[in-house]
Amino acid sequence: MKTLVHVEDHAVAQMMMAAIEAYEIKHRSSKRTKARDRIETFGLLWGYVVPTKDTIAAKIIVTHATIETSALRDEDSVTPDFESMQFKKAFMGKYWPNVELVGTFHSHPYGSVQKVKEVKGWQASIADTIFLPEVHEELAREQPHFAHLIVTVAKMSKSGWASPQRLSLASEEKAGYEITADDRKLWLRAYSSYFNYDEPEDDTEVDADGEEYDLEWDDETMDLDADLEVDNFKTPVWLEAHFNQEVELHIPSIERRFA
């Protein structure tokens, strides 16, 4: 299922700053003996979703990004706090109801550009493909599509210059960008997750007397229209959120900022 993710200029700055801060700045803690850098960071994406219509792919518009400062952050993992994310969703819903929770972002810090290329570090890890749909399920069941952005950062030995490029692998060319910013390289790769509605495969059921009858589903509520006393019909359920790689990422401002 193809999904389009469109990120507005401000949100790009917020995500990049969070990823670079976590990567380059030492994070001190009175409880820890050693300050750490190259840690991952996690945040939420806000905006609105234009749902699928006929053959047109769903479009997720990201207008803002916020950082989960309470997330448990480490060199190779980041675990956000669900209570914090629920709070933010409720807070925004009450005071900024025009903006919806539309996704997540997190960073992948690497020691060198070579390492990123070796392991295709800009891509979602197996853990990401399991965890990110869970965040969607937990936080936004009402949202059929959710964006998941990964910002990968690696330091270069010296400052360089290159205009922003699409990702190098043909299979994911449209799903992300590679950017040079002073002495660091950044990769942006978009994924999504979506709910699939489990529609009954066959609308015809057979009652106890062997008579066939059709079940009518109300598309809005997905309730049975017919007031039938049957106990063997298939109740439609929201399935789990599915991870989706087939995403097109559009950041119109990227050329202007990093060229």
Residues that bind Zn ion (CB under 5 A): 125, 128
CB of 109 to Zn ion, least distance (A): 10
CB of 235 to Zn ion, least distance (A): 35
CB of 152 to Zn ion, least distance (A): 9
CB of 80 to Zn ion, least distance (A): 12
- Angle between helices 82-95 and 126-139 in degrees, nearest 10: 50
CB of 132 to Zn ion, least distance (A): 8
Q: Which is nearer to Zn ion, 47 or 109 (CB)?
A: 109
Q: Which of 78, 80, 87, 4 is nearest to 40 (CA)?
A: 78
Q: Which is nearer to Zn ion, 92 or 135 (CB)?
A: 135
Residues 169, 186: Cα–Cα separation, whole Å: 16
Q: Which of 193, 118, 123 is nearest to 152 (CA)?
A: 123
CB of 46 to Zn ion, least distance (A): 20
Greatest Cα pair distance in the chain: 80
246 CB neighbour count, 10 Å cutoff: 14
CA 150, distance to chain mean position in Å, is 8
Q: Which is nearer to Zn ion, 117 or 257 (CB)?
A: 117
SS3 letters for 80-124? CCHHHHHHHHHHHHHHCCCCEEEEEEEEEEECCHHHHHHHCCCCC
> What are the φ and ψ backbone dihedral angles of 121, each rounded to 5 degrees?
-65, -15
Q: Which is nearer to Zn ion, 79 or 84 (CB)?
A: 79
Q: Which is nearer to Zn ion, 21 or 128 (CB)?
A: 128
Which residues does 72 contact at the CB level (< 8 Å), separation at least 6?
78, 79, 80, 81
Residue nearest to Zn ion (CB): 128
Q: Which is nearer to Zn ion, 128 or 248 (CB)?
A: 128
CB of 249 to Zn ion, least distance (A): 16
Residues 40, 223: Cα–Cα separation, whole Å: 43
Task: Please state, in angstroms and as integers, the Cα–Cα distance from residue 257 to each residue in 36, 117, 124, 253, following that order.
Answer: 30, 24, 25, 6
Q: Which is nearer to Zn ion, 92 or 149 (CB)?
A: 149
